[in-house]
Structure 1
Amino acid sequence: MTRSSRLLNILLAIVLFPLAGMSQAAGWPRQVVTDNGTVTLKSEPKRIVSTSVTLTGSLLAIDAPVIASGASVPNSRFTDNQGFFSQWGAIAQQKQVQRLYIGEANAEMVAAQAPDLIIVSATGHDSALRLVNQLSSIAPVIVVNYDNKSWQQVVTLLGQATGHESQAQTIIKQFDQRVAQLKPKLQLPPQPVSAFVWNGGGKEVNLWTPESAQGKLLEQLGFTLAPAPAELASSQSMGRRKDIIQLSGEKMTEGLSGKSWLMFVADSDTLKQVSEDRFLQQAPAVKQHNVYALGNDNFRLDYYSATQTLATLEKLFVH
């Protein structure tokens, strides 16, 4: 084989069989496949604005340069005095992340930050999807649908978009190691379980589905999620949301069919409310005291809240 032939074969091998782990996202510019299509990013972002308070925690976890974020209502069960989620509020303060607005997104406030990348959630109350066209005139926009992804899948996508792939891989590896250590030690309560957020007052609960980040975490640890009745599972009360099913009134008992209940965004006061609720008092999980509160910092699951949830589960189920 001539030298030129060998060189040609090498070049063909590189084109047809790229090195493992290499992709178009290895350098800049790069293309990122998102929920709003393929977005081309010319250079590594230095000023990221998150319009979604849910996604801000994942950006912070991979040390992406997020400079400002939308917020939720301050001083709620799961937020600090800024309206940032309590599991990462102190980190946001340390990194001097500015609060842009509370609730509904504001394009003018986003533009004032002169961002070079804007992060938008596809669903949920913190979605700014209707503003994507307007925001795209300011900077490239990445739309992330978090209602059908684990937090690991979310940080992987954000890592690709921000050039922080290695940080995303590191925290995922650390977390998976923690799960592998904890899983065989857990003495699980009666299975299957219903995992949900109790909204209080006997009005409604949000039942986590297997597609939710919370459901994926529980299944990763060996829990089995109780299936919701078919007629409830097909309910579209939350529009396109795939991570929760809203249950209210008498449907709560029917929908919460698990032998054990795991309540997210819940503490001892929440346990008391549930045990005294007229719709739930006779449920087997309540009567047999198989109801557990997992803390107030997991309304949305990211690296920080998932890690704290592991610690709570360890306290509850490792004896």
Structure 2
Amino acid sequence: MRIATTSRFAMRIATAAIASLLFWSQASATETWPRSFTNIDGSQTEIPAKPKRILSTSVTLTGTLLAIKAPVVASGSAANGQFFAQWEKVAKEKNVDNAWPAGKVDLEAVYATEPDLIIVTASGAGSTRDQLAAFRQVAPTILVDDGALSWQELATELGRATGLEEEAAASIADFDAYVAAARARIEIPAGKANIISFNGAGQSNPIGRPGGPHASLLSALGFDIEAPDPAWHTQAASRDDFVWADYERLVDLKAETTFLLRVDDSKAAAFRNDPVLANLPSVKNGQVFGLGIHSFRIDYYSGKEIVDGIVSRFGN
């Protein structure tokens, strides 16, 4: 089962990398501009020339743009007005302006930025989808859904839009090699592992599914991921990445190791010390670990942080 899961992950990443390389090879032969980009809503955006000044309207897009060396000049930030810490240093080195916090849009800042491409995500707190018409008065604007894509898939899409197919493929290959090197350095504990975004009693506690980005990364490192029962899902729409389960369902998990999103090992104590969860195999084994404070979303930078944490914990 572990081999099959890991193979699917490797095949998906390899397919994305190959598709990106093929596209770049075809494009570089002619350097054809303008390009037509198919938005997530099915509409088309014509991009007249290779972008030199990109406005990323959502903080969740920017890490992947930086990873493919896109010329980002401004970006939306998180609700607290800050960039994600895992790539904030890179953004400062690139002099990326902080355009606005999630939930707010400053159209004057859009004009002042003088972008030649604006990128909008269709979902999440940073979505500015309702401003598409206004943005398109300023510059070509594309609409993607980073919530539905792995960062590798998103990198490939953004590479096509920006003429950075080669850079996108290189970032994916670099990350893949980083994961493979880490896997050779760790000793995986026996049994299965699960992934939980722990919120406690009275709330939904999302549990990672084997096909989700967090589970795929851990599978690539050699972990065998426990699949939560889809019947536990409390949301109206099904999801491929998580089952949103009631707190009471956590006691039915069987994995010998638990990884918690959004926290480090010190903050994992809330889960380890929860009396309702005391009989979970992972709690009894003393194998409850935080995946890191930036692990809520995997991009090129936070993914490497997660890998480094796993090597630090399980390195042989």
Q: Distance in 2 between matches of 1:240 and 1:54?
A: 22
| Structure with the higher fraction of residues in helix conformation | 2
Aligned to 1:292: 289
Q: Distance in 2 between matches of 1:168 and 1:204?
A: 35
1:131 to 2:131 alignment: yes
Task: Say what the alpha-carbon RMSD is for the aligned residues.
Answer: 2.5
Aligned to 1:63: 69
1:273 to 2:278 alignment: no
**Residue pair 1:253, 1:279 contacting (<8 A) in 2 also:** yes
**Residue pair 2:116, 2:140 contacting (<8 A) in 1 also:** yes
Aligned to 2:249: 251
Aligned to 1:11: none
Deviation string 1:117-136 (CA, Å, 9 cap, x unpaired) is: 11112222222223333323
CA radius of gyration, larger in = 1
Deviation string 1:253-291 (CA, Å, 9 cap, x unpaired) is: 34x543311122211331211112243233221122121
Shift of residue 210, structure 1, vs aligned partner = 3.5
Query: Which one of the candidate residues 1, 14, 38 is aligned to 1:33?
Result: 38
Task: Classify 1:123/1:211 alpha carbon distance in 2 versus 1 (closer, same or farther; 3 Å).
Answer: farther
Task: Classify 1:205/1:216 alpha carbon distance in 2 versus 1 (closer, same or farther; 3 Å).
Answer: same
Shift of residue 107, structure 1, vs aligned partner = 5.5
Runs of 4+ with >6 A deviation: none
Deviation string 1:135-186 (CA, Å, 9 cap, x unpaired) is: 2333222222223322111111111111222221212112212222222443
TM-score where L is the length of structure 2:
0.82
Q: Percent identity?
A: 33
Q: Distance in 1 between matches of 2:200 and 2:72?
A: 34
Aligned to 2:82: 83
**Residue pair 2:99, 2:106 contacting (<8 A) in 1 also:** no
1:304 to 2:301 alignment: yes
Q: 1:1-319 alignment to 2 at 5 Å?
A: 21=23, 22-23=25-26, 26-37=31-42, 38-74=44-80, 82-106=81-105, 108=107, 109-199=109-199, 203-233=203-233, 235-236=234-235, 242-254=240-252, 256-319=253-316
**Residue pair 1:204, 1:252 contacting (<8 A) in 2 also:** no
Greater CA drift, 197-206 or 96-105: 197-206
Shift of residue 219, structure 1, vs aligned partner = 2.3
Which residue identity is paired with 2:274? D
TM-score where L is the length of structure 1:
0.81
Task: Classify 1:287/1:93 alpha carbon distance in 2 versus 1 (closer, same or farther; 3 Å).
Answer: same
Task: Classify 1:111/1:257 alpha carbon distance in 2 versus 1 (closer, same or farther; 3 Å).
Answer: farther
How many residues are matched? 291
Shift of residue 54, structure 1, vs aligned partner = 0.9
Which residue identity is paired with 2:101? I
